[in-house]
Amino acid sequence: MKEFDFIVLGSGIAGLSFALKAAEKGRVALITKRNLSDSNTAWAQGGVACVMSDEDSFELHIRDTLDAGAGLCHEDAVRKIITEGPERIAELVQLGVHFDQRENENGQNELDLGREGGHSKRRILHFRDTTGREIESALIAQIASHPSIDVMENHMAVDFITTGKLGYAMENSCVGVYVLNEATGVVETLRSDVTVLATGGCGKVYLYTTNPDIATGDGVAMAWRAGAAIANMEFIQFHPTCLYHPAINSFLISEAVRGEGAILINGRGRRFMEHHNPQKELAPRDIVARAIDAEMKRSGAKCVYLDITHKPADFIKSRFPSIYETCLRAGLDITREQIPVVPAAHYQCGGVKTDLHGETSLRGLYAIGEVAATGLHGANRLASNSLLEGVVMAHNAFEKATRRQRTPVSIDLTEWRSGSVQDVDELVVISHNWEEIRRLMWDYVGIVRTDKRLQRAATRLRNLHAEVQEFYWNFKVTTDLLELRNLVTVASLVVDCALSRKESRGLHYTLDYPDRDDARFQRDTVMRRI
């Protein structure tokens, strides 16, 4: 058994930020199932939404966030995260993060603030179109040289260790975690009174997603099995513009492209967003995604097109260098050609339910970043609020975790026992189940839903869950098997939450209940394992 003051699962902006702060107070285990740089944060293109201009205000940013959240945002969380944003941004800059600047009319340098859908002002701090990678790199550079942080790459968390499972007669608390060392195949036992979930979202539960392969909903599934409350998993945000190309999968075309004037057109070259919302291409993501979905279904087309060719070529290349180069490698020059795009699963707006300090309903367990449901996003996330939430909530969780009292009794952890399990000899079955889950979620639990589709998904997922459980108990654990186990759990939570919401709100749109019902459903959907 290895003992630490803090255990952090995940290496995105939230996990890295918490680890750096916590390392000044004690020993930190920073666990990531791939490399440190493998995170949703590293894939973020657009930027960080934060009030940084005299033309902007906290109240405007709060209003935009509440409007996008469709009546389900927790205003106290929205106010706290937005008003604390500038201080956390200043900390990122001190750690070496660069944001693009421009020369103003007085010849002075100032932040080059972008604009994205749902925002009434320019407030997006960015580094070209690779903002997440810039933040990730700066934080990793700080982590690598810190003597109090034990980085454990290629280690995957299996399950939390709780006092309830251990048989202690006390408030159920998280006191550690079992972690699979992929290099050795051994499940290690880690002990701490403070465990922080920063594992990101669950985009890979869908067939088409803008997320990296690591986004398999591990944190939500682990928290669910440990008894923590889960909220609002029906609200999965589909990004409107994922590149549609046979040779390139999961490549996001940033919302900032539309923020800089790109328009959406159909196969006949006609603009269509004006028929769906007065804000046209700058409407909130749920509206734009549904509009594209409707246009594709109406015409039978496989995609629509994003057109920014009316902008100067030099501007496109300097503002969006990564997007330009990636598309060029696919034979597409976006300075002269329209970009084929489709919606794809992008962001998990629900997650492990927390308070304003990241505390979950399970003592000793904190959740920050995309894995958490803080109340900021409500039924639909406002563009670029996620990186802001990650860095602010990392700070708040750090402050609370370092003040909480330690477990009052000595805890003896049970070592992991594999028993008489055998090596998995039919990997094709795991692969098949993985693909089946993602396909049925795309077909039945996508942008537009019905009760009949959801019930079909629920029935099949119950059967798949039984199959996966049989694998889990009879075979040696591997990363593939653990991810499949988590994937089927999270898929079931999305479906169960969606079935319980008999209305359309934000990202949850159902043909059976097309209207919003504030009288009955202006509340979180909270699930807890019995």
Alpha helical stretches, state H, 95-245: 131-144, 163-166, 218-226
Q: Where are the domains of the chain?
A: 240-344, 427-525
271-315 per-position pLDDT tens digit: 999 999 999 999 989 999 999 999 999 999 999 999 999 999 999
Closest CA to 395 of 350, 362, 351, 358: 358
- Determine whether 133 is an active site residue: no
- Given the residues 133, 285, 438, 485, the one annotated as active site: 285
Question: pLDDT confidence of 426, banded at 50, 70, 90?
Answer: low
Question: Can you name the residues that pair with 31 across neighbouring β-strands?
Answer: 9, 152
**Helix count and strand count (H, E) for the chain:** 17, 21
Residue 98 structure tokens: 């660069």
**Mean pLDDT of the 136-150 span:** 97
Residues written for the chain: 530
The pTM assigned to this predicted structure is: 0.96
The answer on pLDDT for 407 being more than 80 is no
What b/e readout covers 100-115, taking b as 16+ CB neighbours within 10 angstroms? beeeeeeeeeebbbbb
Closest CA to 191 of 12, 2, 471, 395: 2
Question: How many whole angstroms separate alpha carbon 69 and alpha carbon 378?
Answer: 4
DSSP state of 204: G
Question: Can you spell out the DSSP letters for 29-95?
Answer: EEE-SS-TT-SHHHH--S-EE---STT--HHHHHHHHHHHTTT---HHHHHHHHHTHHHHHHHHHHT
Supply the pLDDT for residue 26.
Answer: 97
On whether the 240-344 domain is CATH 3.90.700.10, my answer is yes
Question: pLDDT confidence of 211, banded at 50, 70, 90?
Answer: very high
504-518 per-position pLDDT tens digit: 999 999 999 999 999
Question: Can you spell out the DSSP letters for 448-490?
Answer: SB-HHHHHHHHHHHHHHHHHHHHHHHHB---HHHHHHHHHHHH
323-359 per-position pLDDT tens digit: 999 999 999 999 999 999 999 999 999 999 999 999 9
- Fold: same for 240-344 and 427-525: no
489: how many CB neighbours lie within 10 A of its CB?
22
Instruction: Tell the CATH topology of 427-525.
Output: Methane Monooxygenase Hydroxylase; Chain G, domain 1 (1.20.58)
DSSP state of 343: E
**Averaged confidence pLDDT in the chain:** 95
Distance, C-alpha 361 to centroid of its chain: 20
Supply the pLDDT for residue 476.
Answer: 87
82-92 per-position pLDDT tens digit: 999 999 999 99
* pLDDT > 90 fraction of the chain, expressed in percent and rounded: 90
Supply the pLDDT for residue 65.
Answer: 98
